[in-house]
Amino acid sequence: MELIALVIAQFYGLLRPRYPWGALPVWLVAVALGLVAVLVAHHAHAAAIPPQTATPWERTVIREGRAVWGLPSPSALFGAQIQQESSWRPAAHSPYAGGLAQFTADTAQDMARWYPELGPADPYNPHWAIRALVRYDHRLYTGIARTASDCDRWAMTLSAYNGGAGWVSRDRKFCAAAGDCNVSRWWHDVARYSQRAAAAKAENRAYPEHILHRWHPPYLAAGWGGPEVCA
């Protein structure tokens, strides 16, 4: 919306020397209003969550989630996770990971080894990436025990997906040693404690926050399915 206001201000700034605001010709007002309408429509389209690029994969996410997790499958959460990982861009690439679910080369190879039904590691194939993501989440989720709520369990699961299960285990031990920290709770407890580098910790803590509180609600509202994990 700031961009729209800036464009209007610049438009009027160009015309002001010739036309005071009250004397603008009708055709110029129409042009200005048309420009605003186009910008508003573009802004709304760009901000839509889930984006249109997610729609072709919705059924795949739901089907694969149910195949691994049963019913109800947290399909909306998987959609939110892919939103965070790649914004539904199958060719997305970072220095260490790639594809729709942003698997590192090592983790992709591990997935192919742990789950032969996936076939060879192929993280840039959207079908492979979705099938691997729901399985990896399930593996991590079942490895997280003794949490205060499912919200805490999912936060730790997502932290493990982003930074490794070993780090979550170490963070919980670090929390326990602190004396004022509840190892069964992520928010305001385990999340405060880590011996990771500052940048790595900041990224890791933002990861479950964005997925569970920013992206998950609109995917649920769009009907992707699954429980409301963090009320």
pLDDT in tens, 52-100: 999 999 999 999 999 999 999 999 999 999 999 999 999 999 999 999 9
d(CA 84, CA 146): 27
Domains of the chain: 58-222 (1.10.530.10)
Q: How large is the average pLDDT for residues 161-173?
A: 98
Q: How large is the average pLDDT for residues 162-170?
A: 97
Q: What pLDDT, on the 0 to 100 scale, is given for residue 47?
A: 64
What lies within 8 Å, CB to CB, of 21 at 6+ separation is: 12
Q: What pLDDT, on the 0 to 100 scale, is given for residue 213?
A: 98
Q: What pLDDT, on the 0 to 100 scale, is given for residue 38?
A: 36
Quick check: 95 and 87 in contact, CB under 8 A?
no
DSSP letters along 33-55, please?
HHHHHHHHHHHHHHH-SS-GGGG
H-type alpha helices, 70-164:
75-86, 105-114, 126-142, 150-163
pLDDT in tens, 15-62: 555 655 556 565 444 544 454 343 333 334 446 999 999 999 999 999
d(CA 81, CA 76): 9
Residue 98 φ/ψ, nearest 5 degrees: -160, 165
Residue 10 banded pLDDT, cuts 50, 70, 90: low
pLDDT in tens, 107-154: 999 999 999 999 999 999 999 999 999 999 999 999 999 999 999 999
Q: What average pLDDT does the structure give for the chain? A: 88
Q: What pLDDT, on the 0 to 100 scale, is given for residue 51?
A: 98
Based on its alpha-carbon atoms, the radius of gyration of the chain, rounded to whole angstroms, reads 23
Q: How large is the average pLDDT for residues 188-193?
A: 97
Q: What is the pTM of this model?
A: 0.80
Q: What pLDDT, on the 0 to 100 scale, is given for residue 189?
A: 98
Question: What are the angstrom distances between the C-alpha of 67 and each of 61, 74, 122, 159?
Answer: 10, 12, 20, 24
Compute how many other C-beta atoms are within 10 angstroms of the C-beta atom of residue 102: 22
Residue 165 φ/ψ, nearest 5 degrees: -65, -30
